Every structure is written in C-alpha cells, then in structure tokens.
Structure 1
Amino acid sequence: MIYDIRHVTTYSYESPVSFARCSLRLEPRSGDGQQLVSHSVEIRPKPAERTIRRDFFGTHTESVLIEAAHRSLRIDSRSRVQVSRQALGRTAPSPSWENVRDVALEASSLGPASPVGYVFASSLVPVLGPVTAYAAASFPQGQGILTGAVDLMHRVRHDFKYDPKATVISTPLREVFEKRHGVCQDFAHVMIAGLRGLGLPAAYVSGYLRTYPPAGKPRLQGADATHAWVSVWCGREIGWIGFDPTNDLLVENDHIILAVGRDFSDVSPVDGIIVGSRKQKLAVAVDVVPVE
C-alpha cells in the first residue's frame, strides 16, 4: 500500500513573535515494513537556518531558526510512503514473558534497537505500582509474551474511554490511569508503563493511521490526525511487534510510522521555543490518502 500524507501545523499568535526555534520530526521512517518514497517540508515564514540530524533513536530531526517577526507559523509536511507488513496472529506462539524479560536485560548493545533501553521508566512514563498490577493480570506465570500483550491491549481498549477533552500533553500518567479517560497518547503510555513495570521492553511509536469515512460519505480533508501506539520486544526471534491499544489492533498496513522513542517527549512532531508575550493557538490538519 502506498500513501500520500500531508501534515499541516499552524501556530497563530496574538502578538508578533520575534524569534522561534523549532525541532521537526516529520519525516516518516524507512524500515519496520515501510519505505519512504519522498518527503518535503515548506515553512512560512522562511527560516533563517535549517539543519538536519538523526537523533539517538534514528529519527530524522530538523532544527529550524526563524528570526523574522511573525504572527503565524505554518509548517506543511508532505510525504509518500510505501507500507508492506503482515502482523502475526493474535494467538501465534511466542516465548514466555519471563524469558523475554530475562533476555532483554542480558542485551550486550545499548543502541536504539536494543530492548534494554526501553525497560526502564522515562520522563512521561513512570513505573507505578497500580499500573504494574493492572498489567500483571494479563501475564500469569508462563504466559507467552504475544498472548499477554494482546490481552493487555484489549483490556486497555475496553477499560479506558477515548475522550479528547479529558487530558492534555502534560497530564500525569497516574491521573490518566485513575480517570480511565484519555487519547491515544495516554493509552500508549499506560500500556508501556504496565509492561515496563513487569520488566518488559516497550517503546512509544508516533505516526499516522489510515481512517475510513462512513459508507457513502466522502473523506473530509484534514480530518485525520497523528496517532500513537506501542512497540513491544517479543524476544530475539520475533523482535519488535506493534500494538494499538486505542483500537485493539496489531499494527499492519494501515499504520505509518513517523518516529520511535521512550515516550511522547522523544517523538513530538513539532516542538521548540518562541519569544513572545501573549497567547498562541495551534491547529493541526492531517490527510492520509491511499495512492490508487
């Protein structure tokens, strides 16, 4: 499957902003069952400086410096990506979760693909006793890692209500878990926290999800959004597998990976600082369109 993706981020300011420095993580990855075909980013106003690097996790990161005074900042990212992956069956055999836990801690590499880097707490995903206990119900003694992760994903989907008004980016994980309300970012963080509490490697994945309009209705431009899910290391033979707790899905061809990290703070599509004195408004529009 080939997708054309357009991701437009617009900041509007009540008063002129004299300076902005932003980090952009908007180029989809190649690997993990997908291949980047093309990518471009248009920025208005025109930056004084643009530099590109790869961060520790291998994410294409562009640093942008804007020195001209402006009342709005528009970042228009366009990509074409080919996706071809096949998920394992939900009941496929896999090593026990205890075995995966032990092998992960024996890893000799500290590189971005090594499972040991995703076992411990991170800035937005603390290890909390109640969350660990919640996850433990899916992992009785000897349970296969894949079966346990599927069950945990299903329970998060069933027990938590999708509610865009319930949380913001800074809402603590403990509060999300107590309220049982949130968005895809929150569901991914809860599942990751539970897995890490058991000593299991789990990464945060940001990207896009192809959506389907109601029968007989046209697609609405800009109606899609960025999405988040979980990647779980299931042992040396199986490797990393994607789990989408928001939709109770194993990741396949409708998911397009943008970036991978320990939590949202590692993969935010756009972040940075500005020099300004009044309020700002953010608008994001995303289109994920299959290429016929």
Structure 2
Amino acid sequence: MKYKLVHKTEYKYAEPVNNYHSLICLTPRTLPKQLCRDFTVSISPEPSQIIERVDFYGNTTHYFSLHSPHKTLTVLTTSIVECLTETTGMPVMPSYVTCSEARQRFTEDRSLKISLLEYILPSPLVKWDQEIRSYAQDCFMDELPLYECVQVLCRKIFTEFDFVPDFSTVQTPIREVLAAKKGVCQDFSHLAIACIRSFGFAARYVSGYLETLPPPGKAKLQGSDASHAWISVFIPDYGWCDFDPTNNVVPGERHIITAWGRDYSDVPPLKGIIFSYGKHALEVKVDVIPLQ
C-alpha cells in the first residue's frame, strides 16, 4: 500500500513575530516494512535555509529560522510512503517470554539493559507513582507472556477511557488523565508507557499517522486522518513490538511511523521558540490519502 501524507500547520499571530526558530519532526521513517519514497517541506514566509538533521533516536528533523516580521506562519509537508507488506503487525510466532523471564533477561544481560535504559526510566512527560502502578497491577502477572500482558493493558485502557479531544494539553499530567478516565491518543500512550515502565520493562512513544478502512456501517478508528500516537514495547527474542491503546489494535500497515522517542516531548511535529508577545491561533490539517 502506498500513501500520500499532507500535513499543514498554520500559526496566526496577533502581533508581528520578529524572530522564530523551529524544528520539524514530520519525515516518515524508512524501516524494513516502510519506505519513505519522497518528502518535501514548504514554509511561508520562506526561510533562508532549511537544515536537515538526524536526532539521537534516528528521526529525521528539519531546522529553520525566520528573522523578519510576520503575522502568519505556514508549514506544509508532503510525503509519499510505501508499506511493503500487508500485515497486522503481530509476530509471526506467538511470544511466550513471561514477565518474570523478561525481567530476568534485563537483570542478567547488562548490555541489553544499558541499551534500553532510557526507555525504562522516567522521562519528561512519563512519570509514575503507586496509583499508576496499581492501575496496571492486574495486567502484569509474572507467569504470563509479557506480550499478552501489554495487550491486556491496552484493552483495559481502551475499555475504561473515553476519547475526548479537548480534555487535555501536552502538559496534562498522567495522574489527571487516569482520574478523569478520558483523553486522546497521546494521553493513552503516555499512561500505557508509564504503567509498563513501572514494572521494569522498556517502552517508547511512537508518533505517526493512522489510515483506516472501516467496515460498512462502522465508524472510523479514532485518530484517523490526523497525527496519531501509539507505543512500542521491547519483547525479548522479538525486539520492539507496537501496540495501539487508543484503538486496542496491533498496528499494521495503516499505522505510518514518523518518529519515536521516550515520550511526546522528544518528537513533537513542530517545536519552536518565538520572540514576540500577544496571542496566537493554531490550525492543523492532515490528509492521509491511499494511492493504491
């Protein structure tokens, strides 16, 4: 399957912005089952240069700066992505590595634990306490496969939480999301990661897009035709395996990956610094268009 991704971000400022520095993280990753065939970025007003970089996690980013007054900023990215195989994303063979065995692997294999440490420890937006750990306690049993336990956790979040777009912001603590039992894909991913890390396992935040083909009479999956977020968990003997707690599915070819990191703070679509004052309005439009 091949997709065209169009992501348009527009800022309108009440007062002129004289200086603006920004980092774009919207280039789809090239992976064994996903190829980024083309990526273009168009910015208005046009910066003098756009610098491509690869960050610590292997994500492709683009840096630009503006030094002339402007009241509107538009960033338009267009990508062509090809998913090489039709897959549900699940392992070919079931994983039987139990939680106890996985924890033992991390303890005995020091090099493995060091390589995963940043995904096991707290991060800027993913911290936990006993309340968060207790929420997932019935999902993680030592004698059960870790893969199965993560699926149980995702199903629990999907079942017990409501998808409410305007409830949270980037800075909403996980504890508030847990108390209110509502949020968006970013919140559910952060909650799942916090629960998983609280038991000593490695989990990372995945940013991307979701395209769905709902059956007749059924609604589209939440997060469709928009930026989406899900999680990836390190399963010994298998490596990184993806899970989508927002929709209770194992991501497949219709989940298109742009970046991953410890949490959202590592991979926001646009991260910038402005030198101005006054209010601003933000509008984001995303199209995920199947090409074949």
1:276 matched residue in structure 2: 276
Q: Give the Å deviation of 1:68.
A: 1.4
Q: State how far apart, in whole Å, the 2-side matches of 1:103 and 1:73 are.
A: 49
Letter in 2 for 1:289: I
1:266 matched residue in structure 2: 266
1:102 counterpart (99, 104, 109): 104
Letter in 2 for 1:40: T
Q: State how far apart, in whole Å, the 1-side matches of 2:94 and 2:66 are.
A: 51
Q: State how far apart, in whole Å, the 1-side matches of 2:113 and 2:80 are.
A: 32
Provide the secondary structure at the position in 2 that maps to 1:193. helix
Sequence identity (%): 35
Provide the secondary structure at the position in 1 that maps to 2:128. coil
2:230–2:243 CA contact under 8 A, matched in 1:
yes
Provide the secondary structure at the position in 2 that maps to 1:102. helix
Provide the secondary structure at the position in 1 that maps to 2:136. helix
Q: State how far apart, in whole Å, the 1-side matches of 2:34 and 2:146 are.
A: 24
Q: State how far apart, in whole Å, the 1-side matches of 2:215 and 2:11 are.
A: 31
Provide runs of 4+ in structure 1 moved above 6 Å. Answer: none
1:94–1:234 CA contact under 8 A, matched in 2:
no
Q: Give the Å deviation of 1:103.
A: 2.1
Provide the secondary structure at the position in 2 that maps to 1:249. coil
Q: State how far apart, in whole Å, the 2-side matches of 1:32 and 1:280 are.
A: 40
The 5-angstrom pairing of residues 82-231 of structure 1 reads: 82-84=82-84, 86=87, 87-88=89-90, 92-105=94-107, 106-108=109-111, 114-212=115-213, 224-231=225-232
Letter in 2 for 1:88: M
Q: TM-score, normalised by structure 1?
A: 0.92
Q: Give the Å deviation of 1:69.
A: 0.9
Structure 1: runs of 5 or more not aligned: none
Q: State how far apart, in whole Å, the 2-side matches of 1:121 and 1:45 are.
A: 38
Q: State how far apart, in whole Å, the 2-side matches of 1:90 and 1:132 are.
A: 30
Q: State how far apart, in whole Å, the 2-side matches of 1:210 and 1:158 are.
A: 22
Q: Give the Å deviation of 1:10.
A: 0.6
Structure 2: runs of 5 or more not aligned: none
Letter in 2 for 1:122: S
1:49–1:66 CA contact under 8 A, matched in 2:
no
Q: State how far apart, in whole Å, the 2-side matches of 1:101 and 1:129 are.
A: 19
Q: State how far apart, in whole Å, the 1-side matches of 2:139 and 2:199 are.
A: 11
Alpha-carbon RMSD:
2.2
The answer to whether 1:234 aligns with 2:235 is: yes
Q: State how far apart, in whole Å, the 1-side matches of 2:182 and 2:202 are.
A: 24
2:106–2:113 CA contact under 8 A, matched in 1:
no
Letter in 1 for 2:54: R
Q: Give the Å deviation of 1:51.
A: 1.6
Deviations 1:91-133 (A, max 9, x none): 923201122223235341688xx33321111010002211112
Letter in 2 for 1:70: H
Change (3 A) 1:206 1:139: same
Q: TM-score, normalised by structure 2?
A: 0.92
